[in-house]
Structure 1
Amino acid sequence: MTSVKEPVNGQEGDSSPEEDIGSSGKVRAKEGMAGLAKGLAIIEAFGASTTRMTVSDAAHLADLSRPAARRCLLTLVDLGYLAHDGKFFTPLPRMLRLGSAYLSTSSLTQIAQPLLANARDELQESVSLAVMDEGYSVFIARAEAVRIVSTGVKLGGRLPVYCSATGRVLLSGLTEEEIHRHLACVPMKRLTDRTLANSHAVLQAVKRVAEDGYAISNEELEIGMSAMAVPVRNRSGGIEAAVSVSVFSGRVSVATLKEKFLPVLKAIAVRLQRAL
C-alpha cells in the first residue's frame, strides 16, 4: 500500500528542509516550495537576449537538472505562461501579469509616470525610471517617444549596471564593497569598443558619477545610442531609483545632454524625492 507523506508542523510535506543539487553541482537549501523557486528561476531567465529556450537552455540558465527544468517548463505551458512548439518554449501574454503585480501597487511608478510623460513631451525623447536588482538596472516606468526606430529598453527590461547610465547612478550610492558585489552578479564584457568592462574602470566611473551627480553612457551598450541618468533620493538621502533619457547619439550630442536634458531630469528627480 502506498504511504502518504504527513504534513510537518501543520504544513504540506514540501516545506521540510532538503537539499537540491543543480546542474552545476551547487547545493541549494530548499525551504518551503522548492518547485516554485525553480519555476521562477526559469521565468527570470527570459529576457531581451533570451526570447525562447529549449530544455537544455533552461537547465543551464536556471542552474537546474534537465528533468527539473523540463517539468517546470511543461507546468508553465499548462498554466498558460509559455508556448511550446515541440522544441522551443516562448513566453505568452499571461507572463505580463507577474510584472504588473508590482507595477500596479508601487507608488513610485504611479507618481513617476506623469512626470516622465511631461519630460518626454518636452525633450521629444524616451524617459525612464529604473531601480537596482542583482547586478541589473530594471526599468519600472517609461514614457516612450514615438519614432520609427525606438531607443533603449522597454518597460521591465534590464541592463547590466556596469555599462549603463542608470546602473552607474544606482551604484554610486553604495559602498565600494557593495559595488563589487553587484558587479560580480553579471560577468563584464565589452559590448562595443567603448564599453568599460573591468572593475577598476567601472569603479572610477561610478566615483565620478557620485561627484558629478549624473551619469552618461556614450555608445557603451550599443553603437549609435547614448543615455543620461540622475539619481532619485529618498528622505534619508539614499538613492532609491534613477531617471534617464535615451537618445540616438547622431541626433543628440553629449554636450546637448548636459546643457538641455540634465536640468529636466534633475527637476523630475527633485519632484520624485519630495513624494517619497
Structure 2
Amino acid sequence: MSVEHVRSLERGLAVIKAFGADAPALTLTEVAGRTGLTRAAARRFLLTLCELGYVRADGRHFSLTARVLDLGYAYLSGMALPDVAQPHLERLSARVGESCSVSVLDGVDVVYVARCAVSRIMTVSITVGTRFPAHATSMGHVLLAGLDPDDQADRLASTDFTSFTGHTVTSAEALRAELATVRTRGWALADQELEEGLRSVAAPVRDRAGRVVAAVNVSTHAARTTLERARAELVPPLLDCAGLISADLAR
C-alpha cells in the first residue's frame, strides 16, 4: 500500500458505500458489519458524516442525504459525455421506441451516465449512476472488448461471474470468446443475461484517438423483440447513434 494512502478516507468512503438500494437505512451495528469497522470507529465516521451533512440519524438508524449526490455530480459535471450523448439518445429512443442508455466502465461494472427511458422493462429502476456487472450486460461486453489485452485480462480475473439467469456468461473463457466476437463485429447483444426477458444491443463510443470510452445501448423486452428484429431493426440505428456521439466527442 502506498505511503500516500489515507486509511481514514478509505474507511469514510466505505461507510458511505455501505448504504444502497437494498439497505437505505442502517443501524450502527449494521454499518460496522458491512464495513468491517469496530462499532466505535463506525460511530465516529457516521457522526462526522452527519456533521458534514452526508448522513442523517433517525433514532437508531442512519441514512444518506441528498448531499451525497454532490460527489457523483462533481464527476459527471466534468464529463462532456452526458451532455453530448443525451440529445442523440433521445433521437435514438424516438426512432426505435425503446429505452436507450450510455455507460462507462468502472472496474468490473458499467455505470450509467446518460439515459432516455420510454418504459420500465426491468424489475429495478435504472437512473444515472446505476451500476451493473459488466459481464452480464451488452454495454459491459462492448466496453470490455475495447480494452487492451492486459487490461481486459485483469478485469476478467477480478470478475466473480455471478449468474443472474440461465443465460449469463459464467466463465472467463466463454466471455473472452464473446468479447472477441464483439470486437470483430462492432456491437454486442445480451440476451436475457442480466434479467429474464431483458434483451439489449450495444455499440462502442470512441474518442478522437479511436479508443472506446463509453457504450450506448438499446434495451427491449424479449416478448416483443425477437433476436432477428433486434439485429435487423435496432442495431443499424444504434450504430448510427454511436457514430454521431463519437463524432461530437472528437470535435
Which amino acid is the alignment partner of residue 221 of structure 2?
F
Asked whether the equivalents of residues 214 and 231 of structure 1 are also in contact (C-alpha less than 8 Å), the reply is yes
Cα distance in structure 2, aligned partners of 1:162 and 1:174? 14
* Alpha-carbon distance in 2 for matches of 1:148, 1:174: 29
Amino acid at match of 1:272: I
Return the structure number with greater relative CO, CA threshold 8 A, min gap 6: 2
Pairwise CA distance, 1:76: 2.0
Residue of structure 2 equivalent to 1:252: 225
The TM-score, its normalising length taken from structure 2, stands at 0.87
TM-score by length of 1: 0.80
| Aligned-pair identity (%) | 35
Describe the SS at the equivalent of 2:82.
helix
| Residue 84 (1) aligns with residue 57 (2) | yes
Which consecutive unaligned segments of at least 5 residues does structure 1 have?
Answer: 1-27
Deviations 1:85-108, CA, capped at 9 Å, x for gaps: 444433222222221122223111
Shift of 1:188: 1.7
1:253 Cα deviation from its structure 2 partner: 1.9
* Per-residue deviation, residues 126-169 of structure 1 (Å, max 9, x unmatched): 11111111111111111111459777622111111111111110
**CA–CA distance in 2 between the matches of 1:232 and 1:55?**
43
Q: Please give the secondary structure, in 2, of the residue aligned with 1:204.
A: helix
Which residue of the other structure, out of 172, 178, 188, is the alignment partner of 1:205? 178
In the alignment, structure 1 residue 215 sits paired with structure 2 residue 188: yes
Match of 2:160 among 181, 187, 191: 187
On the 8 A contact 2:122/2:198 being kept in 1, the answer is no
Instruction: Supply the distance in 1 between the matched residues of 2:237 and 2:142 (Cα, whole angstroms).
Output: 16
- Which of 232, 235, 238 is residue 208 of structure 2 equivalent to? 235
> How far apart are 1:33 and its partner, in Å?
4.8
Q: Deviations over 1:48-93 (max 9, x none)?
A: 4454444455445545444333322232233222233444433222
Q: CA-atom RMSD, angstroms?
A: 2.5
CA contact (8 A) 2:121 2:220 kept: no
Letter aligned with residue 168 of structure 2: T
Distance 1:183 1:32, change over 3 A: closer
Indicate the SS of the match to 1:100: helix
Residues 151-162 of structure 1 mapped to structure 2, 5 A cutoff? 153-162=126-135
- Corresponding position of 1:13: none
Q: How many matched pairs?
A: 249
Contact 2:112 2:131 in 1 (8 A): yes
Q: Which amino acid aligns with 1:99?
A: G
Alpha-carbon spacing, 1:229–1:149, altered in 2? closer, same or farther (3 Å)? closer
- Report the equivalent of 2:197: 224
Match of 1:41 among 1, 10, 14: 14
CA contact (8 A) 1:172 1:207 kept: yes
Q: Which consecutive residues of structure 2, in runs of 5 or more, have no partner in the other structure?
A: none
